[in-house]
């Protein structure tokens, strides 16, 4: 699957990573709903680091549709809250 981190780039991530990403996504969502900025920062950082660490960065000139789009790394709790869907940032 192709995951875009806004303002950063795209990563090709194995579908096998979806479960681990969903666990981190649930932590992000819980922190946002609780208004816990510290827990949000830690969980959101881990989510993005997982994508970067397990994914392969695509070249900037690659024209590939993204399956998922995540907020930029410098996003705050309110910005991420606005992007949350019914199942968090990552459906599934």
pLDDT tens per residue across span 11-67: 999 999 999 999 999 999 999 999 999 999 999 999 999 999 999 999 999 989 999
Q: Where exactly are the structural domains of the chain?
A: 2-83
Cβ(72)–Cβ(64) under 8 Å? no
Residue 57: per-residue pLDDT: 98
Q: Is 31 helix (H, G, I), strand (E, B) or coil?
A: helix
- In terms of phi and psi (left: phi > 0; alpha: psi -120 to 50; beta: otherwise), the region of 35 is left
The CA-atom distances, in angstroms, between 60 and each of 8, 13, 19, 40, 84 are 9, 16, 27, 29, 26
Burial code (b: 16+ CB inside 10 Å, e: under 16) for 48-58 equals: bebbbebbeeb
Residue 43: per-residue pLDDT: 98
């Amino acid at each position: 699957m192709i995951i875009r981190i806004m303002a950063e780039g795209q990563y090709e991530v194995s579908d096998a990573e979806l479960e681990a990403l969903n666990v981190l996504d649930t932590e992000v969502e819980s922190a946002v709903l609780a208004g816990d900025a510290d827990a949000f920062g830690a969980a959101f950082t881990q989510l993005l680091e997982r994508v970067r660490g397990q994914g392969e960065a695509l070249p900037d000139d690659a024209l590939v549709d993204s399956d998922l789009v995540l907020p930029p790394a410098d996003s705050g709790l309110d910005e991420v809250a606005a992007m949350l869907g019914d199942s968090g940032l990552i459906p599934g």
